[in-house]
Amino acid sequence: MAEVVTLNNPSAKVSTATKPVAGPRGKKPRPMLSPRNIMIYGALIFAAVYYLLPLYVMVVTSLKGMPEIRLGNIFSPPVEITFEPWVKAWATACTGLNCDGLSRGFWNSVRITIPSTVISIAIASVNGYALANWRFKGADLFFTILIVGAFIPYQVMIYPIVIVLREMGLYGSLTGLIIVHTIFGMPILTLLFRNYFTSLPEELFKAARRWRRVLDDLFQDHAADVAADLRGRDDPAGHRYLE
């Protein structure tokens, strides 16, 4: 306890409790150039340069003409930038039996990727919802078989797939490839959707079902009103021209 004497009344003494001075809290900040940070960032920079160097050489070489490429300076930037190799690779380069460049393969990839992705997600979302909320007999066994099938190497199934597509008349067509990619994508997507739906609370699905009924009723009433309004506009007298 400390005694403090006031200036006006020296005989009066006021006792006050000493309070500890608040110091800095938390961990001590680490220096930016510590040996640990130098090793970590040095390793990351080395790995980034190691993986980006081939990409740099590829891009720089593609912007050079053949006379400059023959000089052998693969790391030097182009003296005269030209996009002629890009145009030739896209439109006129020979790939296999075709000489129409990379455009054919690119657009084939687009035609295969978009439908197979959309169909796989649509089917897998329904399968995942059913496996998460519909506990039918043998659901666990079915889910186990589905997961095991997702880890079977694709090389094992190539020959049976070729035979099946040949018998279906889809061998060598984009439709056959879309079917193959869709089937291969469904197991893992079903697993992802099933885990996602399992993590959601059951009350959320019940509320969604109730709201769906309400919205369906409102939509049906509104659709009936719109249909009646359109019929009244087309036929003010209430007669039907087509029986």
- Whether the Cβ atoms of residue 170 and residue 179 lie closer than 8 Å to each other: yes
pLDDT in tens, 66-120: 888 888 888 888 888 888 888 888 888 887 777 888 888 888 889 988 998 889 8
**Predicted pLDDT of residue 193:** 84
0.75 cut: is pTM over it?
A: no
pLDDT of residue 43: 94
Average pLDDT for residues 35-40, to the nearest whole number?
86
- Per-residue pLDDT of 158-176, as tens digits, reads 888 889 888 888 888 888 8
The Cα 155–Cα 184 span in angstroms is: 12
| Sequence-ordered alpha helix ranges (H) in the chain | 35-62, 66-69, 84-91, 103-133, 139-150, 154-168, 174-199, 202-234
Q: Which two tokens stand for residue 28?
A: 């001590």
DSSP string, 38-94: HHHHHHHHHHHHHHHHHHHHHHHHHTS-HHHHTT--SSSPPSS---HHHHHHHHT--
Please tell me the predicted confidence (pLDDT) of residue 47. Answer: 95
Q: Are 90 and 102 in contact (CB under 8 A)?
A: yes
Per-residue model confidence as pLDDT tens digits over 185-223: 888 888 888 888 888 777 777 777 776 666 566 556 545
Could you tell me the sign of the dihedral formed by the alpha carbons of 116, 118, 122, 125, in that order? positive
Could you count the other beta carbons within 10 Å of the beta carbon of residue 124? 21
Supply 177's token pair: 């490839």
